[in-house]
Amino acid sequence: MRGSCLCGGVRFEVETLEDALACHCRECRQQSGHVFAAGRARWDALRFESDAGLRWFRGSEAASRGFCGACGATLFWRADNSPFVRVALGAIDGATGLRLGRHVWAEEAGDYYEINDGLPQEERG
């Protein structure tokens, strides 16, 4: 699968994405403007064609968030020392072949929407 940010300054390829989820935590909502829909990939399976615009923000004591410094597109979330990275599903060019399987941090969901698609909801991540 290939992916990119809105302006194309960050372009990447990932072998496999799995475990598609929607995160409703405060940090994800603030960064993305709503919820963060992401798939999981091995960090070593993520290859960059262009990463000159890639910036990382330390969003919490446990993780960093990758985004494009030029267009601001939300792209990645990675827990410290994890072999995995979460990749924004909206950044994938074309079809992903995935379906959301669960919602995490549902207890922090915004008050302006309901989670009512019947998928499992975890109060925390």
Rounded mean pLDDT, 67-88:
96
Give the per-residue pLDDT at 119: 97
Q: Do the strands 36-42 and 84-88 form a parallel or antiparallel pair, or are they unpaired?
A: antiparallel
State the residue range of the domain holding 66.
2-108
Q: Is 124's pLDDT higher than 90?
A: no
Any domain includes 42? yes
Reported pTM: 0.93
What percent of the chain stands above pLDDT 70?
100
CA 35 to chain centre: 9
Any domain includes 125? no
Give the per-residue pLDDT at 46: 96
* Contact between 53 and 67 (Cβ < 8 Å): no
Any domain includes 52? yes
Per residue in 14-58, pLDDT tens?
A: 999 999 999 999 999 999 999 999 999 999 999 999 999 999 999
Any domain includes 117? no
Q: How many domains does the chain have?
A: 1
Any domain includes 43? yes
**Residue 76 dihedral angles phi and psi, to the nearest 5°:** -140, 160
Rounded mean pLDDT, 83-107:
96
CATH number of 63's domain: 2.170.150.70
Q: How far apart are CA 68 and CA 111, in angstroms?
A: 28
* Contact between 98 and 104 (Cβ < 8 Å): no
